[in-house]
Amino acid sequence: MNSTQNLLSESSSSSSMDKDLHVTFIEMMYHLLPSPYESQEINHLTLAYFVISSLDFLNSLHLLTNKEAVSHWVLSFHLHPSTIPDPNNGQFYGFHGSRTSMFPPDQTGVLLHNNSHLASTYSALAILKIVGYDLSNIDSELMLSSMRNLQQPDGSFIPIHTGGEKDLRFVYCAAAICFMLNNWSGMDKEKAKDYILHCHSYDGGFGLVPGAESQGGATYCAIASLRLMGFIEDNLLSSCASSSLIDVPLLLDWIVQRQGTDGGIQGRPNKSSDTCYAFWIGAVLKILGGYNFVDSKALHGFLLACQYKYGGFSKFPGEFPDLYHSYYAFTAFSMLQESGFNSLSPELGITQVAANGL
């Protein structure tokens, strides 16, 4: 057996969640990310979001002994115009994802290389919420008025003012940003709603763009956005009211078919179960009020098969752990009401404790 096989054999076969081990794993990530994450430096804020929010789900936020320093670090990525901003210049005054995406203005004060990004802005605001920072201290008016520059005529959003793909991921980021700032001036909700509905597929799920195959992450972005924007009710399945926007029975039928015989949850048909979809699909059911359709015992077993002996969770059983799948495993355990975990706000992807601070 070679060294790789030896390491893979260390995947935990434990029948229980080793919370303390995972706290240590995440605390290590907080102090120093391993070298494989160097290639993801452009997403530094998002990686920090996974780490800090993980500690919150693990009920271990007290390990952040200086939350003010965390807030100060996050705020250092916020883009501020050097001159009086022109609302029609197309710029977005959000948060950069990393130091390498930050450039100084030219001699006239023009930000030629403004790379502030919707996903990074969502991650920044989420971190600030988690550590208890008062978001009213942020110039939300400028951030949101400039965010409207990113909304396209069809209601979708591009993530950055210089372009990029447009799909449901960035509609969700925009909706979550407006919700956290308690100000919807940053988007045309009706146009965004229409775009989301155009992504609704014949089988009940949602694709990332109109006409695309239904997929778990896209379906989450659609349903969570509609919920944040107030277009669908919370616990829709438990209420007497019916939504005229989406075919809920068809959506539910597509969702419940995503749990496989191994207990895990797949993102789309004919794909393997994947740890992260325990959140993307599970959170949709939470929002709809139908989490009871999940075979909790089977899902719990699948997640434990992805638990690594030295901490963290992998995408599939028998693979190495990573920060992304570890984080979404923690959110899944939260939905499964694992002892010692803080509860999830399914629409925002952070703990309910952090969300309640809105």
Other CB atoms within 10 A of residue 230 CB: 11
The model's pLDDT over 103-118, given as tens digits with 9 standing for 90+, comes to 766 666 665 566 899 9
Task: Report pLDDT for 100.
Answer: 81
The model's pLDDT over 12-42, given as tens digits with 9 standing for 90+, comes to 446 788 999 999 999 999 999 999 999 998 8
Task: Report pLDDT for 109.
Answer: 62
- Say which residue, 291 or 84, is predicted with more confidence: 291
Percentage with pLDDT > 70 across the chain: 89
- Buried (b) or exposed (e) across 23-51, using 16+ Cβ within 10 A? bbbbbebeeebeeeeeeeebbbbbbbbbb
The band of 235, judged by pLDDT with boundaries at 50, 70 and 90, is: confident
Taking 3-state DSSP, the helix, strand and coil percentages for the chain, each rounded to the nearest 5, stand at: 50, 5, 45
Question: 16 CB contacts (<8 Å, ≥6 apart)?
Answer: 304
Q: Domain limits of the chain?
A: 19-356
Residue 133 has pLDDT above 60, yes or no: yes
Nearest-angstrom CA–CA distance, 200 and 345:
24
| pTM for the structure as a whole | 0.92
- The runs of H, that is alpha helices, within the chain are 3-8, 19-31, 44-57, 67-75, 118-130, 140-147, 168-181, 189-198, 216-228, 248-256, 277-288, 296-305, 323-335, 352-355
Chain Cα centroid distance, residue 26? 17
Concatenated DSSP letters for 71-90?
HHHHHTTB---SS---TTS-
The model's pLDDT over 5-18, given as tens digits with 9 standing for 90+, comes to 444 444 544 678 89
Amino acid code (one letter) for 117: H
Tokens of 302: 């699948």
The model's pLDDT over 258-308, given as tens digits with 9 standing for 90+, comes to 999 999 999 999 999 999 999 999 999 999 999 999 999 999 999 999 999
Q: What is the CATH number of domain 19-356?
A: 1.50.10.20
- Buried (b) or exposed (e) across 148-185, using 16+ Cβ within 10 A? ebbbeeebbbbbbbeeeebbbbbbbbbbbbbbbbeebe
The CA-atom distances, in angstroms, between 70 and each of 77, 181, 207, 287, 299 are 12, 19, 36, 30, 34
The model's pLDDT over 171-180, given as tens digits with 9 standing for 90+, comes to 999 999 999 9
Region 135-149 average pLDDT: 93
Work out the mean pLDDT of the chain and round it to a whole number: 90
Task: Report pLDDT for 8.
Answer: 43
Residue 233 has pLDDT above 90, yes or no: no
Task: Report pLDDT for 79.
Answer: 87
